[in-house]
Amino acid sequence: MYTLNEKLNLLRQRIQNRKVKVLIMGLGSVGNYLLDYLLSEGDENMEIVVAGRNLEKMQSDVNIVKVAGLIRGKNKSRVSIYCNLDLNSEESIVQCLNEIEPDVVVNSSRAYSGLKYGSISWNNIRAYGIWTPLSIKYIKNIMAAHERVGSSAIVINTSYSDAVIPWLKSAGKAYPDFGSGNINHLIPRIKLAVAEQYHIEDFWNIDITYATAHFHDVVISKEGHTEGVDQLICIKYNGKVIKADLKKIFADCKIVMPVDAKRNMMNASSNFEIIKAVLDAVRNGKKVKLHCPGIFGEVGGYPVIVDGTKENIVSYIETNDFTLDQMRSKNAESIYLDGIEKVEAGALYYTDELLHKVKKAFGVELVKCVPFDKIEETAQFIINEIIDKQRNK
């Protein structure tokens, strides 16, 4: 498996004389929004391939995005469709990767489509980690195929990367390079809240350094508080640290949001941000900062630098404001509240508190430890015993 730095430098070499090729696996709402955002760049040197199983639906979705983009004068990227991709089949993914030879792969698929898992878990157990076996179900197949074909494509995962990417790494498997969403969704909320409190017009220039896991993305976004947990955050403007009223800042992060598929504009935007940052570093020699869950196989979310200013591109977790140990500790504290005790030696361990909540809320005995070879079995158990039964009520 190539390291992220090796992939970035190989990408720089490959696209010197050709277009960059982005493969979107799964054209649900996240994939559709992402396709629209990528086309809106008007990038003549980008080719986009969307892959799935329903040709008629994909053709319809792609056509409307292409025509809408052309109306705006932005549709300059070539878009094509790859049909018959089955994410349950490693062989099918291998065939897809061999045929397309992508530079960037985005996994925007879901094991149980059309459902926001949090709509079941948050009100009942206030924890999202229960769904990790479903979140890893497809990306583990994608990464196994990715390794088999010897691909150096950069892979972005969109589903609960706080735990999914570390789970793959701890099992000695190939794992995605970036996770999108989660912590990334909090950063703009914080910028808007700080700008309001300090009357800052150019709020996009507020600099945030933050380390936290998925639980705090949800509890801050939904309820405007931190559940009594101090946050590891540094806020700067024009190079100066702002000693903000964090309690008020986090309270102001609770803003009205849709509960339907429009929420996936944020996840698609997170994927777009990562792709744009990578291309800015690789093509334009820029140094960019991101916040990503699961980066380098770490549990939780971290600030990440991708630096393309020198001959060799490098990427790393930013440690100017906090040490890596501080960030690891804070992420462990946050993800514990999400129901995950630890990810170790290829196994995911739920917290005892989560097991008790699941038993009380759903009448289901969830296993404490999910070994890597029991992912499929556990995911199906969760679908059968929790999701289907809750949806059929």
- Buried/exposed 294-321: b ≥16 CB within 10 Å, e otherwise: bbbbbbbbbbbbbbbeeeebbbbbbeeb
Tens digits of pLDDT across the chain (393 residues): 899 999 999 999 999 999 999 999 998 999 999 999 999 999 999 999 999 989 999 999 999 999 999 999 998 999 999 998 999 999 999 999 999 999 999 999 877 676 777 778 898 999 999 999 999 999 999 999 999 999 999 999 999 999 999 999 999 999 999 999 899 999 999 999 999 999 999 999 999 999 999 999 999 999 999 999 999 999 999 999 999 999 999 999 999 988 888 889 999 999 999 999 999 999 999 999 999 999 999 999 999 999 999 999 999 999 999 999 999 999 999 999 999 999 999 999 999 999 999 999 999 999 999 999 999 999 999 999 999 988 887
CA–centroid distance for 390 within its chain: 26
Separation CA 392–CA 68 (nearest Å): 38
| CB proximity list for 341: less than 8 A, separation 6 or greater | 349, 350, 351, 352
Angle at 109 between CA 104 and CA 115, to 5 degrees: 150
Do the strands 340-344 and 314-317 form a parallel or antiparallel pair, or are they unpaired?
A: unpaired
Q: Which two tokens stand for residue 328?
A: 């690891």
Whole-prediction pTM? 0.96
Distance CA 342, CA 352 (A): 12
